[in-house]
């Protein structure tokens, strides 16, 4: 698949961003074929200093979030450089996306109201922290704050243990995905109405959205959910069990699958036991059925149970390390981790295919201001 064949080929995005949420949104748009201009301050995006792993002088995390973009450096506190950014948006951008601290965009005339006065067709997207309204709208925030504030951490981890956050930045990445959904919707509407849109999202709104089931359960009967480790509040069995040599996730989302599991484990009587016959009954007797299943699985290694349960059509997966995932044949066959000849860093690509083909790997992120000369040329051609 050639870059010009990608869905967003011809769309220009200007991304004024730092850290994770807006940069990841820009990366998704770049992978979909958009021409993305990442604008960072002269000292660089904070993620360039993230560790522990580095690549070509910047944190490996920075490359994961910023591959495929043109990187330019502008100091928006400098009047002339701010004017250059305004020109870039006015002359080139279909989309402007940022995650500036609250109040900053208006201070520099980069808010939606200001920019869309002179360019009504612009799609302006802001990813905030607590949202654009409410008493906390002007407070900054990061992923772990929102996992805490939204209640996610109250249902994550082991019962009776301190709260923990998810091991990946699910709120940052989720906010980026919602931003892209909003941007694509606005671009689609623009084709018919010939006007842009103001797309607003935030880390907190994303976190609350991820709590949709928990909030519905709470509103139904006041049950807060609780912590169930690798398990889930609404399904049993649906968790990791220790085998003779590792850990295995077993998931039976309905009573038929549970009956099949019982057959595979040579205990069909469990499915007929009134304590376990239905999911609601298993929820009430979670500790006991988990104990019974766990005792059985502990007698053989993971590969034995994985092969046996897969033969019976039961969803099962080993708990793998990152090294395991990278090396696994399934990952290799998906070809989702790609390397470019110029960079050599293996980066995860777009988790989508078009007509059976995944978009090609993007180059790793460039140095600070590496494309400033291209910026000058792009503006000169339109002056």
Domain(s) of CATH 3.30.1540.10: residues in the chain: 238-318
In 161-258, which ranges are E strands? 197-202, 238-242, 247-251
Tell whether the model's pLDDT for residue 18 goes beyond 70: yes
Question: What pLDDT digit, counting tens, does each position of 262-312 carry?
Answer: 999 999 999 999 999 999 999 999 999 999 999 999 999 999 999 999 999
pLDDT of residue 345: 85
Tell whether the model's pLDDT for residue 378 goes beyond 70: yes
Tell whether the model's pLDDT for residue 28 goes beyond 70: yes
DSSP type of residue 130 = S
- Tokens read off for 268: 């069909």
pLDDT of residue 51: 87
pLDDT of residue 225: 80
- CA-based nearest residue to 201, from 222, 181, 224: 181
Q: Distance (Å, rounded) from C-alpha 150 to C-alpha 80?
A: 41
Tell whether the model's pLDDT for residue 383 goes beyond 50: no
The C-alpha angle with vertex 68 and arms to 66 and 72, in degrees rounded to 5, equals 70
Sign of CA dihedral 50, 54, 57, 61: negative
Task: Give the burial string for 245-263 (b: 16+ CB within 10 Å, else e).
Answer: eeebbbbbeebebbbbbbe
Residue that the structure tokens 């201009």 belong to? 37
Q: What is the CATH number of domain 238-318?
A: 3.30.1540.10
Q: Is 221 left (phi over 0), alpha (psi -120 to 50) or beta?
A: alpha
pLDDT > 70 fraction of the chain, expressed in percent and rounded: 97
pLDDT band at 91 (very low <50, low <70, confident <90, very high): very high
Are 207 and 150 a contacting pair, CB within 8 Å?
yes
332 CB neighbour count, 10 Å cutoff = 11
- State mean pLDDT over 27-35: 96
Question: What pLDDT digit, counting tens, does each position of 166-216 carry?
Answer: 999 999 999 999 999 999 999 999 998 889 999 999 999 999 999 999 999
pTM above 0.85, yes or no: yes
In 48-122, which ranges are E strands? 54-55, 58-59, 70-73, 95-98
Question: What pLDDT digit, counting tens, does each position of 357-367 carry?
Answer: 888 888 888 89
Tell whether the model's pLDDT for residue 219 goes beyond 50: yes
- State mean pLDDT over 313-317: 95
269 preceded by cis ω (within 30°)?
no
DSSP type of residue 49 = G
- Tokens read off for 304: 């034995």
Tell whether the model's pLDDT for residue 87 goes beyond 70: yes
* Three-state secondary structure call for residue 338: strand
- State mean pLDDT over 56-73: 92
- State mean pLDDT over 158-167: 90
- State mean pLDDT over 78-107: 94
pLDDT of residue 235: 93
- Give the distance between the most distant pair of CA atoms in the chain: 79
Q: What is the CATH number of domain 3-210+333-380?
A: 3.40.50.10540
Sheet holding 12-16, edge to edge: 70-73, 35-40, 12-16, 95-98, 123-128, 197-202
Residue 234 burial (10 A CB sphere; 0-12, 13-18, 19+)? middle
Domain(s) of CATH 3.40.50.10540: residues in the chain: 3-210+333-380
Mean residue pLDDT of the chain comes to 92
Show Cβ contacts of residue 278 under 8 Å, excluding neighbours closer than 6 positions. Answer: 255
pLDDT band at 3 (very low <50, low <70, confident <90, very high): low
For residue 10, give Cα distances in angstroms to 5, 130, 307. Answer: 10, 33, 48
pLDDT > 90 fraction of the chain, expressed in percent and rounded: 76
- CA-based nearest residue to 201, from 226, 172, 230: 172
Residue that the structure tokens 């997966």 belong to? 317
Q: What does 241-293 look like in DSSP terms, one character per residue?
A: EE-SSSEEEEE--SHHHHHHHHHHTT-THHHHSTTTSSHHHHHHTHHHHHHHH
Which residues are marked as active site?
A: 172
Show Cβ contacts of residue 21 under 8 Å, excluding neighbours closer than 6 positions. Answer: 99, 127, 171, 172, 173, 175, 176, 179, 203
Q: Distance (Å, rounded) from C-alpha 182 to C-alpha 190?
A: 12
In 53-166, which ranges are E strands? 54-55, 58-59, 70-73, 95-98, 123-128
């Amino acid at each position: 698949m050639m870059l010009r064949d990608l869905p967003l080929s011809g769309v220009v995005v200007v991304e004024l961003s730092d850290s994770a949420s807006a940069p990841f949104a820009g990366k998704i748009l770049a992978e979909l074929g958009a021409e993305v201009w990442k604008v960072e301050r002269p000292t660089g995006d904070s993620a360039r200093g993230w560790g522990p792993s580095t690549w070509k002088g910047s944190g490996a995390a920075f490359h994961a979030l910023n591959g495929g973009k043109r990187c330019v450096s502008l100091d928006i506190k400098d009047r002339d450089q701010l004017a250059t950014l305004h020109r870039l948006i006015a002359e080139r951008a279909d989309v402007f996306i940022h995650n500036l601290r609250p109040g900053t965009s208006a201070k520099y005339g980069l808010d939606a109201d200001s920019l869309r006065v002179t360019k009504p067709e612009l799609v302006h997207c802001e990813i905030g922290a607590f949202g654009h309204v409410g008493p906390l709208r002007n407070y900054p925030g990061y992923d772990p704050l929102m996992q805490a504030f939204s209640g996610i951490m109250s249902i994550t981890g082991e019962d009776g243990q301190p709260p923990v956050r998810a091991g990946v930045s699910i709120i940052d990445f989720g906010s980026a995905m919602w931003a892209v959904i909003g941007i694509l919707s606005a671009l689609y509407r623009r084709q018919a109405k010939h006007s842009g849109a103001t797309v607003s999202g935030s880390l907190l709104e994303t976190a609350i959205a991820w709590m949709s089931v928990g909030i519905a359960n709470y509103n139904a009967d006041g049950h807060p959910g609780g912590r169930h480790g690798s398990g889930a509040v609404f399904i049993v069995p649906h968790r990791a069990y220790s085998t003779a040599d590792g850990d295995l996730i077993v998931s039976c989302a309905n009573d038929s699958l549970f009956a099949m599991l019982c057959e595979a484990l040579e205990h069909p009587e469990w499915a007929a036991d009134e304590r376990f016959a239905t999911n609601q009954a298993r929820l009430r007797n979670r500790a006991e059925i988990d104990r019974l299943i766990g005792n059985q699985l502990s007698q053989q290694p993971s590969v034995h149970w994985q092969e046996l349960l897969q033969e019976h059509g039961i969803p099962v997966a080993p708990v793998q390390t990152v090294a395991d995932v990278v090396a696994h044949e399934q990952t290799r066959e998906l070809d989702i981790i790609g390397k470019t000849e110029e960079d050599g860093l293996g980066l995860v690509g777009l988790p989508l295919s078009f007509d059976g083909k995944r978009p090609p790997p993007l180059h790793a992120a460039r140095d600070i201001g590496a494309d400033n000369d291209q910026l000058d040329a792009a503006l000169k051609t339109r002056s």
